[in-house]
Amino acid sequence: MKKIIIILIGVITLISCKNESKTDSKTNSKTNSTMNNPLLAEWNTPFGVPPFDIIKSDDYLPALREAIKIQSAEIAEIINNKEKPTFKNTIEALEFSGADLKKIANVFYAVTAANTDDILKESEKKIGPEMTAHFDEIQLNSDLFKRIKTVYNEKDNLNLGKEELHLLEETYQNYIRAGVNVEGKDKERLKEINKKLSALAIKFGANLLDETNAFEAHTNNKEDLGNLSESLVALAASEAKKRGHDSGWSFTLQRPSINPFLQTSPNREMREKLFQGYAKRGDNDNAKDNKAVISEMTALRVEKANLLGFDTWADHILSNRMAAKSKNVYQLMDKLWPSALAMAKKDRNALAEMMKNEGVKGTFRGSDWRYYVAKVRAKRYNFNEDETRPYFEFNNVREGAFNLANKLFGMTFKVLNNVPKWHKDQQVYEVLENGKHLGVIYFDFFARESKRGGAWMNELRMQSNVNKFVTPIVTNNFNYPAPTKDTPSLLSFTEAQTVFHEFGHALHGLLSHVKYGSMSGTNVPRDFVEFPSQVMENWMSEPEVLATYAKHYKTGEVIPAALIKKMNNANNFNEGFRTVEYMAAAYLDMNWHTLTNTKQQDVNAFEKAAMQKIGLIDEILPRYRSNYYQHIFSGGYSSGYYSYLWSEVLDADTFNEFKKTGDIFNPELAKKYRAMLAAGGSKSGMDLYKDFLGRDPIIEPLLVKKGFLE
């Protein structure tokens, strides 16, 4: 998917955040084996960034275990406090606990996603269940909850501010949702399920990474490359050498490799090989097969939901989201699905007819779709995507995102050349707003075997403002082709969109201005979190924004207006496909998580039935088949993949408001938008939106944007 944020592991959100210096008593409590661990020492680095230059892979596991012990002691101190429970000695104390664990875990899960190795993989397998058990001991602790409940019951008499009240409400509800009121054997079973789900999620992700890395399609026939761009030909040649070939070109299942090949190669059977290689990841009946993992996970999720008092996993997850109920999710999707499917069928018929007219025998297949879309774009719109790549050199695209942030919010970015990095290819910047330090952002642009697929944002340190203002440290991560000796990294328009998308998440973290770290930045409901990122995609394609960064990497020429028009017309052609493959995945997610029984499913049969139910055509796969659906089985999007569509309603509505003013950088509206980002998760998603525009969101701008309404 062009826009992805990976939430690495759900339990991380349960760690309370404290951005204060560790006390001497904590330091003295550390065991001898961890005294010299750089993760547990003070980080005497510029702006307090992690000391990646001295951290070793085998430092993480002992540091995490030590941090668990430290938080356990902090929790015991809260529980054993003889004083009457108060907001300060219970709710805030809980919020501030686990500072070491939060700090280390944020870095650990960021690195395991972007630059893993065998030690980190093994550490992740070990620490996952241990972390889950640790958080269960906190969130399922009846004695701790008694103190929380005492404070909660007196909330009307405590004279608390809005953020304090919201923290109290969220803390109380989170403990209820976690199952603190579950008793006896059911509570022990809940703990077993949590530990098992954590281990299964880690296994799913590891299997997928290994399956993705293992695949290769190699050719020595240059005709198989079709009109693949010079930069991507060089990348494929480099990949072939890396994989031990003396000559030829190798293609992988990483998006920057497979998608251009599917668009350009005239070799139909080789296209099918790559297409099926991608579609069958985790479904090859081998040691890395994910079907048994999925079947067990979904059954356990139903059982856990039942223990918590819900009929389905979706009921449980949606109970604190903007959508609230699965019925509301289905209603939104059902409004769009018929129009999107009709558009996709119309396009399918046109593409199949083109293939037939070329004298190609056989049935039109999914692996033919992108190839013939490219042909239609060339024939109907005189457009070839490779025409635009020279205008989207990755550094220029990054500068375009910086320029947009400057235009909207007065932000500037200063390169930091002497800060530690987790990989030599990273770029690091100090972020300033009107000259004042705001935070630090890391960019990790290029694909490699040590990095999982997709694109995402991490918060290495969250903003807070308790005793002092603590600035955020965020990351943006991508999987783009690295520059070769002779060619720069040139992006497609869609890949350039992803830069702006993830940068939108980064802005959400960087512009945060709240008291408590657990409410800062992107700590908002799942169906709100994609809104600030998706709205950035609207700006990036506007001609006056394109003029600031879409410049030919050789000549410096700004992308011509005629080419922009061709590109936009051509890109609009395949909107039915894009919407259908995304929505099919969203329906699949909801189907898995509205199960009401704990019977383990035949994964492929279940998926087939779910897609037949909505009438998905054979030529389109859901964007993520179950076997490689990392969002919902190894990320934080179970019962939440619909959120991209939910957020599309918000982003289309928002940008339409900017357009209506006649100034897409309207200062007054930008100020209100910035205030919403600054509020983080200190209010509900709907309240944040109403504060911004003064009304509920409306769907009509999205329907017009997608071509479903005139």
Torsion sign (Cα): 613, 618, 619, 622: positive
Alpha helices in 86-183 (DSSP H): 93-96, 99-114, 118-139, 142-153, 162-178
Q: What is the CA radius of gyration of the chain?
A: 25
Tokens of 387: 């025409």
* Catalytic hit among 164, 495, 502, 607: 502
Using alpha carbons, select from 544, 619, 574 the residue that is nearest to residue 279: 619
Which residue has tokens 């972007």?
114
C-beta of residue 298 within 8 angstroms of C-beta of residue 601: yes
Distance CA 281, CA 291 (A): 10
- The count of other CB atoms within 10 Å of the CB of residue 613 is 10
Nearest to 147 by CA among 172, 174, 122: 172
- Return the SS3 of 288: coil
CA 628 to chain centre: 15
Cβ atoms of residues 120 and 112 within 8 Å: yes
Told to judge if 542 belongs to the known catalytic residues of this protein, a careful annotator would answer no
Nearest Cα to Cα of residue 605 among 144, 328, 295: 295
Structure tokens that stand for 506 in this block: 């980064």
Contact predicate 573/380, CB 8 Å: yes
- Say whether 490 sits in a helix, a strand or coil: strand
C-alpha to C-alpha distance for 432 and 646, rounded to whole angstroms: 31
Backbone angles phi, psi at 315, to 5 degrees: -55, -45
**How far apart are alpha carbons 236 and 700 in whole angstroms?**
43
Q: Which residues are catalytic?
A: 502
